[in-house]
Amino acid sequence: MPPRKLYFENVRVGDEIPAMAKAPVDRVQLARYAGATGDFHPLHVDEAYARSLGMPSVYAPSPLGQGFLGQLITDWARGAQIKKFSTKFIRLIWPGDTLVCKGRVSDRHGENGRYNIELDVWAENQKGELVLKGAATLGVYYSSEDENRQKAGQAPVVVNVPRENILVMAAEPPKKGGKAAKAAKAAKPAKPAKKSAKPAKASKPKKASKPKAKPKPKAKKKKR
């Protein structure tokens, strides 16, 4: 059975890479790593020297954790070309630490027969603390047909796919008329009924007008 290969058409933004747990880091591994890389810095192999500088013990060189993330990517992205890979170190790796490497697809885009998949990757220790994080860009074939065509010297399969960044997709509101929009609309609480019009204020009774006083009769003049 041929090994599984990663093709652009089978990947979606948000897909998670299966987590990879590493065995606890020990001093034998640190010594072997120093021998393989030629990095014999005493902080990584000399316990007494590390303690003299206030460290609780020796600690792993940073590239060791980077190598773990690289293994996570290559095991998952078989057949892909790693175009870019960068890491940022957050915490020191101590003997006894058990790292779990994780990742997800953060972006995908294709143009003129070239297809790229971008990954966010990171590693956590046994306490769930973030130890290092990184990013990678992979170049892949669109499909097995595309791979066969290019290896035969033919033109690649061309499907133009705009960027589908996971952060942009999360920030965008659902499109009108789509399923997501209908679901969002259904989830909204119904608007409260409008308050009925206020009753008209009762008009104050008018004060009764006082009756006008009758004019007094004029006194008649006496005849002389």
Domain chopping of the chain, boundaries: 8-25+61-175, 26-59
Phi–psi pair at 223, nearest 5 degrees: -80, 140
DSSP string, 73-85: HHHHSTT-EEEEE
Question: What's the CA gap between 154 and 150, in Å, rounded?
Answer: 5
More confident residue, 14 or 175: 14
What is the structure's pLDDT at 168? 66
Which pLDDT band holds residue 90 (cuts at 50, 70, 90)? very high
Please tell me the pTM assigned to this model. 0.72
What is the structure's pLDDT at 165? 82
Residue 210 has pLDDT above 70, yes or no: no
pLDDT digits 0-9 by tens, 156-185: 999 999 988 877 666 655 555 544 444 445
Mean pLDDT, residues 176-195 taken together: 47
What is the structure's pLDDT at 208? 52
What is the structure's pLDDT at 89? 95
- Contact between 100 and 20 (Cβ < 8 Å): yes
Lowest mean pLDDT among 56-60, 74-78, 185-189: 185-189
pLDDT digits 0-9 by tens, 19-60: 999 999 999 999 999 999 998 999 999 999 999 999 999 999
Contact residues for 79 (Cβ-Cβ < 8 A; gap 6+): 3, 5, 6, 7, 140, 141, 147
- Contact between 107 and 118 (Cβ < 8 Å): yes
| The domain defined by 8-25+61-175 carries CATH number 3.10.129.10 | yes
Residue 113 has pLDDT above 80, yes or no: yes
